A and B are shown apart, each in its own frame.
Chain A
Amino acid sequence: MLALDPLLTGDVGWWPEVAIVVIKVVLAFVALLVAVMAMIWFERKIHADMTNRIGPNLAGPFGIFQTLADGIKFFFKEDLMPRRADPLVFRLAPYLSLIPAFITFVVIPLGGRFDGDRQGVIKLPGFHKETLLQVADPHVGILLVLAMSSIAVYGVMLAGWSSGSKYPLLGGVRATAQMISYEAGLGLAVLAVLLRTGSLSTNAIVAHQSGWNWNLWMTLFVPFVVFLIAITAEMNRPPFDLVEAEQELIGGFHTEYSSIRFALFFLSEFMNVVTMSAIIVTLFFGGPDGPSFGPDWLRALLPTVWFLAKLIVFLFLFVSFRATLPRLRYDQLMDLGWKAMIPLALGWFLLLVTVRIAADNDWNPFATVAVIVAGFAAGGLMLRKAIRTSAARRAAEEVAI
Chain B
Amino acid sequence: MGYLGGFAVTIRKFFGHDTDSGRVVTKAYRAGQGGKSDEKRTKALRLHGRHVLNRYEDGMEKCIGCELCAGVCPARCIYVRGADNDPDDPTSPGERFGFVYEINYLRCIHCDLCVEACPTEAITESKLFEFSFTNRDDAIYTKAELVVDDDGMPKKLPWEDWREGDDLNTSAWMRATAPAGDADFEGIVAWAGELGYGVRAPEGGQPAERAAAEARAHDHTDDHGGGHH
B6 touches A325 (CB 8 A): yes
- Does chain A have a CB within 8 A of B22? yes
| Minimum Cβ distance to chain A for residue B17 (Å) | 7
Give the distance in Å from the alpha carbon of A109 to the alpha carbon of B206 in the complex. Answer: 71
- Restricting to A32-54, which residues have a CB under 8 Å from any CB of B? 46, 49-54
Q: How far is the CA of A325 from the CA of B9 in the complex (A)?
A: 11
Determine if A324 and B7 form an interchain contact, defined as CB atoms under 8 angstroms apart: yes
Within 15-52 of B, Cβ neighbours of A (below 8 Å) are at 17, 22-26, 28, 30, 35
The size of the chain B interface, using a CB distance under 8 A, is 17
Does B13 contact A320, Cβ atoms closer than 8 Å?
A: no
Tell me, in angstroms, the Cα distance from A325 to B8 when the chains sit together.
12
Determine whether the beta carbon of A54 is less than 8 Å from that of B26.
yes
Chain A contacts of B22 at CB under 8 A?
Answer: 52
Taking A49-B17, A51-B10, A58-B35 as given, write out 15 further A-B residue pairs in contact, using a Cβ cutoff of 8 Å, ordered by the A residue number.
A49-B13, A50-B10, A50-B11, A50-B14, A51-B13, A52-B13, A52-B17, A52-B23, A54-B26, A54-B28, A320-B10, A320-B11, A324-B3, A324-B6, A325-B3
Tally A-B pairs: CB < 8 A.
Answer: 38
CB B201 to nearest CB in A, in angstroms, measures: 32
Q: Interface on A for B, CB 8 Å cutoff?
A: 46, 49-54, 57-58, 320, 323-325
Tell me, in angstroms, the Cα distance from A324 to B28 when the chains sit together: 25
- B residues with a Cβ closer than 8 A to A are 3, 6-7, 9-11, 13-14, 17, 22-26, 28, 30, 35
B24 touches A54 (CB 8 A): yes
Distance between Cα atoms of A324 and B3 in the complex (Å)? 8
Whether the pair B14, A46 counts as a contact (CB closer than 8 A) is yes
CA distance A50 to B8 in the complex (A): 11
| Chain A residues with CB under 8 A of B7 | 320, 324
Please provide the 4 A-B residue pairs with the shortest distance between their CB atoms, ordered closest to farther.
A50-B10, A54-B26, A324-B6, A324-B10
Tell me if A50 and B13 are in contact (CB < 8 A): yes
Residue in contact with A324 in the complex, picked from B9, B24, B25, B26, CB distance below 8 Å: B9
Using Cβ atoms and an 8 Å threshold, which residues of chain A touch B13? 49-52
B39 CB → nearest A CB, Å: 13
Q: How far is the CA of A178 from the CA of B10 in the complex (A)?
A: 27
Please name all residues of chain B whose beta carbon is closer than 8 Å to the beta carbon of A51 when the two chains form the complex: 10, 13
Contacts of A58 in B (CB 8 A): 30, 35
Please name 5 pairs of A and B residues whose Cβ atoms are closer than 8 Å in the assembled complex, sorted by A. A52-B23, A52-B25, A54-B24, A58-B30, A324-B7
Partner of A53, one of B3, B9, B24: B24
Q: How far is the CA of A324 from the CA of B23 in the complex (A)?
A: 17
Cα A325 to Cα B28 with chains together (Å):
28
Give A49's nearest chain B residue, CB to CB. Answer: B14
Which of A51, A320, A324 is the most central at the interface, judged by chain B CB atoms within 10 Å of its CB?
A324
The docked-state distance in angstroms from the alpha carbon of A53 to that of B26 is 6
Give the shortest distance, in Å, between A278 (CB) and chain B (any CB).
Answer: 23
CA distance A323 to B23 in the complex (A): 16
Contacts of B17 in A (CB 8 A): 49, 52
Cβ of B193 to closest chain A Cβ, rounded Å? 39
Chain A residues within an 8 Å CB radius of B11: 50, 320
A52 and B9 alpha carbons, distance in the complex (Å) = 11
In the assembled complex, the CB of A55 is this many whole angstroms from the nearest CB of chain B, namely 9
Shortest beta-carbon distance, A323 to chain B, in Å?
Answer: 5
Determine the chain B residues whose CB is within 8 A of the CB of A323 once the complex forms: 10
Q: How far is it, in angstroms, between the C-alpha of A368 and the C-alpha of B228 when the chains are bound?
A: 79
A215 smallest CB distance to B (angstroms): 24
Assembly CA distance A50 to B25 (angstroms): 12
